[in-house]
Structure 1
């Protein structure tokens, strides 16, 4: 019967590696509409956001279309868009193959979430615990536990902690950048530990992008990238990678990977024409220099006709085309281990 075992072994491995759901924590890079349902100005559920999404409907995604996590879900054979947890029109069955708890303008630091009164990471984790309970009621313990165990958990968070908090005049935190990085990494480790304790095993922590090259951060820097911010992103990413390696040894059964989005976005910004873009300095919305959120809705006469020519849709967030490039890169370099 040894031959039967040889045949069944790859089948069993394939079944064991299947991802039944993509579960997301983070900020506006992965918020698919949760902020629509809370009292905050950090929203994008209005035109021109969503201009190229399905039927041209603004969903609350800070882009002209889908986000990287939507494309990642599709790459795993799951629905092509990940729903927002706070959408009361969706049942737990609608959320069983993927859900986003993310909130635009939030961070690992609670003080960051307080700036625009959005959902802190601690509340996102409480929603996840509630989600797990709802799954168990709807699907039974065995099936719900399998979803929780085999799901892919994506974390995309941290940029706002530096831009909105540490480097902002609103910040009251003292200490060096290195000390703040250590503080944030401690919060990230605790959050990962909480999801692991609730049964999560397959996880991806996405690194920071070159935040100094966002159009909004070029303003006041003579149109050039803010290299201080980029250096901080690289430093933080290096420490994230070290943390991932350590946690994989310390937490039983954890498979935590680090997704490098810094280098892919940096490459596109450096040579946009190589990727089919014409503009990597301004956003498609308005002047492309500072508009985001409600400011985009106030300057629609300046909206670019074709977002596919732009790396950024507003002064902070990428276009759908750029998100697709990020998703494809991450799938090919990192997340393929979960296929």
Structure 2
């Protein structure tokens, strides 16, 4: 009950912040990776899945949904904060119809990135395919709501883009290819170019309220700390520095596009500082473990290696920042969402 009370307090604070500035946001539309995938990978042939226990054990009904979390992900909390709905439906999930999707939908795919080569590593949905799904959705929404109402929804919707971590950790640093073609700095520019082009396409299709997500302190993910065990198991600062540099570049991109694209309300959503604060001072946020994850031993388990029969899985994920070796817990997601509201949305939604 304690963890539910804490999450409830956080959400109450989140909703209070939004009540002051709430604008007409009829839907939340999501593009991204496992940080926001709500079940699309369940429907494709890939090993990157989480539609089995213990994933989802703290979700409604204790059901695994394909979310890489013990419960809800970041965008579920954002949707709730707008007063729309508690959870984001996955576009490919046959259990959801247009009644569910008309107020928001998720096109994200765990394991993907900006770079098409990243999605190829584990055979997941590339960003260009997510865009194609979105174009299909636009027509489906027009058929469902009518042309005028659908265009209003699409124009006033809040668009979330959460990508980039896999481009570096799953692709650039893990497999040969991009690292032989680009320096890290060149690769950052390559990815930023894709992000900018994607935003311009969304803008051309009528999107105006867009959140571009930054990278977390990815060198502090439990999996990366495990890889650094020989050197004491601390955060890999090289990866953290790449994340900070990439975030600075994306912030510059946001400023540039806000100047270039008339009427756009583009914000940069930066999870780096709040997550690093949590990792460095977990007790101040009510956590007891910032180093290992809840699932299994906490050092390397994620996906299929996060097994429901593992005797080492923690009994209370609310005490952990990370659920598996790569992904945050539901409570961490709620805190990050609350942080976005306090630092970004109050200004973003003022008419």
TM-score category of the 2 structures, normalised to the smaller one: over 0.9
Shift in Å at residue 81 of structure 1? 0.4
- For residue 306 of structure 2, give the secondary structure of its aligned residue in structure 1: helix
1:215 to 204, 214, 222: 222
Equivalences for 1:218-297 in 2 at 5 Å?
218-221=225-228, 222-297=232-307
CA distance in 2, matches of 1:210, 1:299: 30
What RMSD in Å do the two structures reach over aligned CA positions? 1.4
Equivalences for 1:82-93 in 2 at 5 Å?
82-93=88-99
Task: Determine whether 1:316 maps to 2:322.
Answer: no
CA distance in 2, matches of 1:327, 1:18: 19
Task: Determine whether 1:58 maps to 2:64.
Answer: yes
- For residue 45 of structure 2, give the secondary structure of its aligned residue in structure 1: coil
CA distance in 2, matches of 1:44, 1:97: 25
CA change 1:68–1:172 in 2 (3 A) is closer
CA distance in 2, matches of 1:254, 1:133: 22
CA distance in 2, matches of 1:265, 1:299: 29
CA distance in 1, matches of 2:91, 2:142: 16
**Contact 2:188/2:246 (8 A) holds in 1:** yes
2:118 to 97, 112, 117: 112
- Residue by residue over 1:139-187, the C-alpha shift from the partner in whole angstroms, topping out at 9 and shown as x without a partner, is 1111100000000000000000000111113434422101000000000
Ranges in structure 2 where 5+ consecutive residues have no aligned partner: 1-20
CA distance in 1, matches of 2:121, 2:54: 25
Count of matched residue pairs: 326
Partner residue of 2:341?
A: 331
Ranges in structure 1 where 5+ consecutive residues have no aligned partner: 1-13
CA distance in 2, matches of 1:273, 1:250: 43
CA distance in 2, matches of 1:238, 1:95: 34
CA distance in 2, matches of 1:303, 1:236: 34
TM-score by length of 1: 0.94
1:175 to 182, 185, 189: 182
CA distance in 2, matches of 1:129, 1:331: 28
- For residue 99 of structure 2, give the secondary structure of its aligned residue in structure 1: coil
TM-score by length of 2: 0.91
**Contact 1:50/1:57 (8 A) holds in 2:** yes
Which shifted more, 156-165 or 293-302? 293-302
CA distance in 2, matches of 1:69, 1:216: 23
Partner residue of 1:72?
A: 78
Task: Determine whether 1:196 maps to 2:214.
Answer: no
CA change 1:55–1:298 in 2 (3 A) is closer
**Contact 1:19/1:338 (8 A) holds in 2:** no
**Contact 1:285/1:299 (8 A) holds in 2:** no
Task: Determine whether 1:138 maps to 2:148.
Answer: no
**Contact 2:158/2:210 (8 A) holds in 1:** yes
**Contact 2:53/2:308 (8 A) holds in 1:** no
Task: Determine whether 1:27 maps to 2:37.
Answer: no
- Residue by residue over 1:108-162, the C-alpha shift from the partner in whole angstroms, topping out at 9 and shown as x without a partner, is 0000000000000000000000000000011111110000000000000000000
- For residue 169 of structure 1, give the secondary structure of its aligned residue in structure 2: coil
